[in-house]
C-alpha cells in the first residue's frame, strides 16, 4: 500500500504513550515528519529519541502543550508549521476519563474536564490546523473516538458520551472542510493502554475469550488504522468512523 506520507508533516496529540506514541512511530515509518505533543516535555523528548532510533533520519519535533489550553495549542501548531513549512495530518488522539461511575452521579468539574479534552479540544485543534495550513494546502484529520460512542457501558457513560460527540464532530467537519480536508475517526475497542488499565488488567483473559479475535488490542493495532485514514490510500474516504475492536460489538449477545 502506497501511503503517500513521505515528506508530509503530521501532528499527534497525546503522543507521549499508548496509541499516540504508536501512531507517531507508525507515521515516521512511512517517512512523515512528526510533531509529538502532550503535557510533559521530558516524556516527549524520550518519544522523539525512540522514533529517531527506530527510524534514522526521521524528522521529529517534540512540543509540549496541554490539549485543552488554547494558547498552548496555537503555539504547538505554529511551531509545527514554522519547523516544517506546513501541516498535512492532524491526529486528535489525546483523551481523558477522570470519572468512573453512573452518569447520574458525575460532578460538574469532572464532566467539564472530560468535554474539554475529549470533545472541544478536537474543535480547537482542527480550527488551528485549518487556519494555519490546511485551508490553503489541504490535509487529513483523524480523530480518536471509541466503540463506547456506539454502545452503552457501565461506569464510563459520560466518557462514552463525549466519544459519541467525536463521531458526530468528525462527520460535521468532514462536510465543512471538504473538499480540501478529509476528516475521519477511529473507534478502538478495549486496548491495553494506561488510560484503560482499570478496565482490562483485572480480567484480561476472561475478556479476551469473549472477543471473536481472541485478544485485547494493542496500540499498534490502532496506529495502523490511523495511518491508513491519514494516507493517500484513503483518498476517497471522509466522514467515516472505522471500528477497530477485535469484534467486540459484533459478538453474539447469547452464546
Please give the positions annotated as active site. Answer: 159
Q: How many CA atoms lie within 13 A of 1 on its CB side?
A: 14
CA separation for the pair 125, 6 (Å, rounded): 23
As beta bridge partners, residue 217 has 191
CA separation for the pair 245, 44 (Å, rounded): 27
Q: How far is Cα of residue 216 from the mean position of the Cα atoms in its chain? A: 18
Amino acid at each position: 500500500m502506497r501511503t503517500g506520507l513521505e515528506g508530509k508533516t503530521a501532528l499527534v496529540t497525546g503522543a507521549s504513550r499508548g496509541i499516540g506514541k504508536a501512531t507517531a512511530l507508525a507515521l515516521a515509518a512511512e517517512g512523515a515528519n512528526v510533531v509529538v505533543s502532550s503535557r510533559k516535555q521530558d516524556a516527549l523528548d524520550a518519544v522523539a529519541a525512540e522514533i529517531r532510533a527506530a527510524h534514522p533520519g526521521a524528522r521529529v519535533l517534540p512540543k509540549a502543550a496541554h490539549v485543552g489550553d488554547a494558547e498552548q495549542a496555537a503555539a504547538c501548531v505554529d511551531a509545527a508549521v514554522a519547523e516544517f513549512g506546513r501541516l498535512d495530518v492532524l491526529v486528535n488522539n489525546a483523551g481523558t476519563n477522570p470519572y468512573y461511575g453512573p452518569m447520574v452521579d458525575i460532578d460538574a468539574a469532572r464532566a467539564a474536564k472530560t468535554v474539554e479534552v475529549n470533545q472541544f479540544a478536537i474543535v480547537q485543534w482542527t480550527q488551528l490546523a485549518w487556519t494555519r495550513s490546511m485551508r490553503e494546502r489541504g490535509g487529513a484529520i483523524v480523530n480518536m473516538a471509541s466503540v463506547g460512542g456506539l454502545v452503552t457501558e457501565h461506569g464510563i457513560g459520560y466518557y462514552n458520551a463525549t466519544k459519541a460527540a467525536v463521531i458526530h464532530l468528525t462527520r460535521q467537519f468532514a462536510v465543512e472542510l471538504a473538499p480540501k480536508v478529509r476528516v475521519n475517526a477511529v473507534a478502538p475497542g478495549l486496548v491495553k493502554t494506561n488510560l484503560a488499565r482499570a478496565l482490562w488488567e483485572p480480567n484480561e483473559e476472561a475478556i479476551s475469550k469473549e472477543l471473536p479475535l481472541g485478544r485485547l488490542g494493542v496500540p499498534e493495532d490502532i496506529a495502523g488504522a490511523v495511518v491508513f485514514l491519514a494516507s493517500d490510500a484513503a483518498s476517497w474516504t471522509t466522514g467515516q468512523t472505522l471500528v477497530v475492536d477485535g469484534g467486540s460489538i459484533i459478538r453474539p449477545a447469547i452464546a
